[in-house]
Structure 1
Amino acid sequence: MVVQTFIKNKTVIPEILINMKKYLLVTLLISCSAMAFAQSKMACCAKPSATKQFAMLAADKKFVMAHPLPLKFHFQSDIGKPITYNTADGKTAGAFFFKAKRPTNNYLLVVHEWWGLNDWVKKESEKLYNDLGNVNVIDVDLYDGKVATTREDAGKFMQTVKDDRAQAIIKGAIAYAGPNARIATIGWCFGGGWSLQSSLLAGKQAIACVMYYGMPEQDVNKLKTLNCDVLGNFAAKDGWINPKVVAQFEENMKTAGKKATVHEYEADHGFANPSNPVYNSKATTEAYNYTLAFLKPRLK
């Protein structure tokens, strides 16, 4: 009887097929929506990179106000000179270069604070150049020529730095040094974090990394690729790169099987810059002595 009813009522089968198609379509739409939601949730909840985390601090008013306007500072180097080199993104980059007195493959890459490649950075680089002995020093410029004199500009410049461009600038500097170059890095604040990133980018050419109160890389898998030891000079009173962040970095370095030597000073973020009103002479001297003791044997 049931079979006969289906045959006589020819409209039943098409209706069943239509309903099945509707059901499958709705199921497909629900599945796609669920996948899209899951992907968007993963994207929104994904932890930003160390460099982006630091750049995001420019939106924090407390962080911005913790950077007093720099005191007037002028320096004219008789040793260093501006250079231009090609970058892999088809552009060029500017830098300030101190050439070693004698041919050597030892290079120190210097990364500026959030103010940009200003006179204080050049003066500090010349001091390192003289104190380290026969070494080439390259001051990279991640702001592409822009130098801030106000907090607002510094925050804007730091936020607009794109990782791809910054990496191209650093890789270009490494290429300028050459395939046989032995690369050490150093930086402060914004440049402190990028000092560590520079050593990661240098790969097997990396021989030493010094970072002053910069955002450390916390990705253990990335840290496993690091080819050198790290010296960290941090400020115990730093409200952002605080002792908790530093302790986590030390733990991550241990997990990655890498060596990090950390010194923390009773000072504020930015303590090593004499043009900064929070400058701490004692902490600066101690940190600099540790820095020289760390770099000298590795740059022989």
Structure 2
Amino acid sequence: MGTSISYKRPDGKENGGYLASAGRSGAPGIVVIQEWWGLQDQIKGICDRFALAGFDALAPDLYNGVVVPYHDTDAAGKEMNSLNFMDATDQNVRGAAQFLKRNGAKVGLTGFCLGGAVTVIGSTRIPELSAGVAFYGIPPEQAAKAVDVKIPLQGHFANRDDWCTPQVVDAFEAGLKAAGKTYEFFRYDADHAFVNEQRAPVHDRQAAEQAWGRAVAFFNKHLG
């Protein structure tokens, strides 16, 4: 449904990505951030699904074409740990937001795992954004503090997550609440990456569909 494109970052360099269009002028935009596996077909499918829901969706490629097979967690960890999260947010992700905002529409940001953490970072740093939805990813405090979140934020988290743990989620939520931020967090009796239907051992269809419905409603409310 979508297509591979190239767009300009704020620094003028080019970055690749996958764009799925709603097919109507003035559609709101959503930047979709990959898991630590890279720009997998599953993430492209998320973009396609957002397009069907009425949004222009762009997934920037943060790994410069590298896509890691699902079984190779060592390679995925290597790619994620070599990623400059701040540069990726300020340049690749912000450039994608600027690209989607060129028609004057509001733009949101969402992401999964690694992309969830980038979503939270982006919520503190990217002025073009109007809303964010993070899936099972929260960055270290030195990368983004709850008090610095500047947009309405929705979060979806798994109770059986040993990467983005319930304790980390609770602490960040407490920070949002104390700072008076606009947010809503949801927790699911599921495993990390429960939205990814290509990973059968962790996919939870019921939780994924519930989270999807909540995310679309949130974006409709804040981007519509």
In the superposition, the TM-score normalised over structure 2's length comes to 0.89
| Counterpart in the other structure of 1:28 | none
Alpha-carbon distance between aligned partners in 1 of 2:118 and 2:153, rounded to the nearest angstrom: 13
SS at structure 2 position matched to 1:273: coil
Structure 1 residues 208-227: aligned runs within 5 Å = 208-216=131-139, 218=141, 222-227=145-150
What runs of 5+ residues in structure 2 fail to find an aligned partner? none
Contact 1:223 1:256 in 2 (8 A): yes
Alpha-carbon distance between aligned partners in 1 of 2:143 and 2:180, rounded to the nearest angstrom: 9
| Counterpart in the other structure of 1:290 | 214
* Deviations 1:79-111 (CA, angstroms, capped at 9, x unpaired): 311111122445310011122322116210000
The structural deviation recorded for 1:216 is 4.3
SS at structure 2 position matched to 1:139: strand
The structural deviation recorded for 1:192 is 0.7
One of 247, 257, 261 as aligned partner of 2:170 = 247
| Counterpart in the other structure of 1:10 | none
The structural deviation recorded for 1:137 is 0.9
Number of aligned residue pairs: give it. Answer: 219
Structure with the higher fraction of residues in helix conformation: 1
SS at structure 2 position matched to 1:114: coil
Assess, with a 3 A threshold, how the Cα gap between structure 1 residues 220 and 153 changes in structure 2: closer, same or farther: closer
Q: Which amino acid aligns with 1:287?
A: A
| Counterpart in the other structure of 2:110 | 186
Contact 1:220 1:256 in 2 (8 A): no
Q: Which amino acid aligns with 1:160?
A: S
The structural deviation recorded for 1:113 is 0.5
| Counterpart in the other structure of 2:63 | 143
| Counterpart in the other structure of 2:181 | 258
The percentage of counterpart residues that share the same residue type is: 32
Assess, with a 3 A threshold, how the Cα gap between structure 1 residues 221 and 145 changes in structure 2: closer, same or farther: closer
| Counterpart in the other structure of 2:97 | 174
What runs of 5+ residues in structure 1 fail to find an aligned partner? 1-78
Q: Which amino acid aligns with 1:198?
A: G
Q: Which amino acid aligns with 2:180?
A: G
In the superposition, the TM-score normalised over structure 1's length comes to 0.68
Structure with the higher fraction of residues in strand conformation: 2
Q: Which amino acid aligns with 2:166?
A: P
Assess, with a 3 A threshold, how the Cα gap between structure 1 residues 110 and 221 changes in structure 2: closer, same or farther: closer
* Deviations 1:227-256 (CA, angstroms, capped at 9, x unpaired): 321111000011131111111111111222
Contact 1:212 1:234 in 2 (8 A): yes
SS at structure 1 position matched to 2:47: helix
Assess, with a 3 A threshold, how the Cα gap between structure 1 residues 197 and 145 changes in structure 2: closer, same or farther: same
Question: CA RMSD of the aligned region, Å?
Answer: 2.1
2:115 corresponds to 1:195: no
SS at structure 2 position matched to 1:110: strand
Contact 2:30 2:100 in 1 (8 A): no
